[in-house]
Chain A
Amino acid sequence: MIKHLLTLIWNRKKRSVLLIIELSLAFLILFSVFGFVLYNMDNYKTPLGFDTENIWMASLRMNSDPDSAERVETKALLLQSLRQIPEISEVSYSNPVSPFSGSTWQTSTIDNGFEMDVELAAADLNNDKTLGLNVVEGRWFNKEDKSAKYRPIVINKKMRMAYWPDSTAIGRIIKLNGESKIVGVIDNYKYHGEFSEEKNVVISLFAEHSDQNPTLIIRLKDGFDPTIEQDINRIIQQTTKGWKFSIENLESKRKFLNVDYWIPMVVLGSISGFLIFNVALGLFGVLVYNIKKRRGEIGLRRALGANPKSISNQFIFEILFLTSISILIALFFAIQFPIMGFFDVDTSLYIRAMFYSALVIYSLVLICTIYPSIQAARVHPATALHEE
Chain B
Amino acid sequence: MIQLNNISKVYKTKTIETLALDNINLSVEKGEFLSIMGPSGCGKSTLLNIIGLLDEPSSGMINISDQAILEYKSKALAKFRNQKLGFIFQSFHLINDLSVIDNVELPLIYRNIGSSERKKLAEEALESVGLKNRMKHFPSQLSGGQKQRVAIARAIVGKPEIILADEPTGNLDSVMGGEVMDILLKLNKENSTTIVMVTHDKLMAEKTHKLIRLFDGSQVN
Return the CB mask of A371-387 against B: 1 if under 8 Å, else 0. 00000000011100110
Give residues of chain A (344-388) contacting chain B, Cβ–Cβ below 8 Å.
380-382, 385-386, 388
Residue of A nearest to B157 (CB): A304
Inter-chain contact A306/B78, CB cutoff 8 Å: yes
Contacts of A305 in B (CB 8 A): 78-79, 81-83, 107, 110-111
Stretch from A169-177, A252-260, A295-303 that touches the partner: A295-303
Check: A12 CB closer than 8 A to any chain B CB: yes
Return the CB mask of B156-194 against A: 1 if under 8 Å, else 0. 000000000000000000000000000000000000000
Return the CB mask of A303-314 against B: 1 if under 8 Å, else 0. 111111110000
Q: What is the distance, in angstroms, from B138's C-beta to the closest C-beta of chain A?
A: 8
Residue of A nearest to B118 (CB): A4
Inter-chain contact B54/A382, CB cutoff 8 Å: yes
The distance in angstroms between the C-alpha atoms of A217 and B102, with both chains bound, is: 80
Stretch from B21-29, B91-99, B198-206, B210-218 that touches the partner: B91-99
Give residues of chain B (64-115) contacting chain A, Cβ–Cβ below 8 Å.
74-75, 78-79, 81-83, 87, 89, 91, 93, 95, 97-99, 102, 105-107, 109-112, 115
**Given A381-B54, A382-B55, A386-B45, A304-B74 contact (CB < 8 Å):** no
Return the CB mask of B113-133 against A: 1 if under 8 Å, else 0. 001000000000000000000
Check: A271 CB closer than 8 A to any chain B CB: no
The distance in angstroms between the C-alpha atoms of A64 and B79, with both chains bound, is: 96
Q: Which of A12, A297, A382 has the most CB of B within 10 A?
A: A382
**Given A11-B98, A305-B110, A385-B75 contact (CB < 8 Å):** no
Q: Which of A12, A302, A385 has the most CB of B within 10 A?
A: A385
Q: What is the distance, in angstroms, from A338's C-beta to the closest C-beta of chain B?
A: 39
Q: What is the distance, in angstroms, from B187's C-beta to the closest C-beta of chain A?
A: 18
Inter-chain contact B52/A303, CB cutoff 8 Å: yes
Q: Report the contact-size class of chain A (Cβ under 8 Å from the partner).
A: 20 to 34
Residue of B nearest to A309 (CB): B75
Contacts of A4 in B (CB 8 A): 102, 105-106, 109
Residue of A nearest to B48 (CB): A382
Check: B3 CB closer than 8 A to any chain A CB: no
Residue of B nearest to A7 (CB): B102
Inter-chain contact B98/A385, CB cutoff 8 Å: no
Check: A8 CB closer than 8 A to any chain B CB: yes
Contacts of A299 in B (CB 8 A): 54, 93
Q: What is the distance, in angstroms, from A383's C-beta to the closest C-beta of chain B?
A: 8
Check: A148 CB closer than 8 A to any chain B CB: no
The distance in angstroms between the C-alpha atoms of A306 and B46, with both chains bound, is: 20
Inter-chain contact A302/B78, CB cutoff 8 Å: yes
Residue of B nearest to A5 (CB): B109
Inter-chain contact A385/B54, CB cutoff 8 Å: yes
Check: A18 CB closer than 8 A to any chain B CB: no
Q: What is the distance, in angstroms, from A377's C-beta to the closest C-beta of chain B?
A: 10
Inter-chain contact B93/A296, CB cutoff 8 Å: yes
Contacts of B89 in A (CB 8 A): 385, 388
Inter-chain contact A304/B82, CB cutoff 8 Å: yes
Check: B49 CB closer than 8 A to any chain A CB: yes
Check: A234 CB closer than 8 A to any chain B CB: no
Inter-chain contact B106/A8, CB cutoff 8 Å: no
The distance in angstroms between the C-alpha atoms of A308 and B74, with both chains bound, is: 8
The distance in angstroms between the C-alpha atoms of A382 and B79, with both chains bound, is: 17
Q: Which residues of A contact B (CB under 8 A)?
A: 1, 3-4, 7-8, 11-12, 296-297, 299-310, 380-382, 385-386, 388
Q: A305-B81, A382-B55 are in contact. List 19 more A-B contacts (CB 8 A).
A: A3-B115, A4-B102, A4-B106, A8-B98, A8-B102, A11-B97, A11-B99, A296-B93, A301-B106, A302-B54, A303-B54, A303-B87, A305-B78, A305-B79, A305-B107, A310-B110, A385-B54, A386-B45, A388-B89
CB pairs A–B below 8 angstroms (26 shown)? A4-B106, A4-B109, A8-B95, A8-B102, A11-B98, A296-B93, A297-B95, A299-B54, A300-B106, A302-B54, A303-B54, A303-B87, A304-B87, A304-B110, A304-B154, A305-B79, A305-B110, A307-B74, A381-B54, A382-B46, A382-B49, A382-B54, A385-B54, A385-B93, A386-B45, A388-B91
CB-based closest 8 A-B pairs: A305-B82, A305-B110, A307-B78, A382-B54, A382-B55, A382-B49, A11-B97, A381-B54
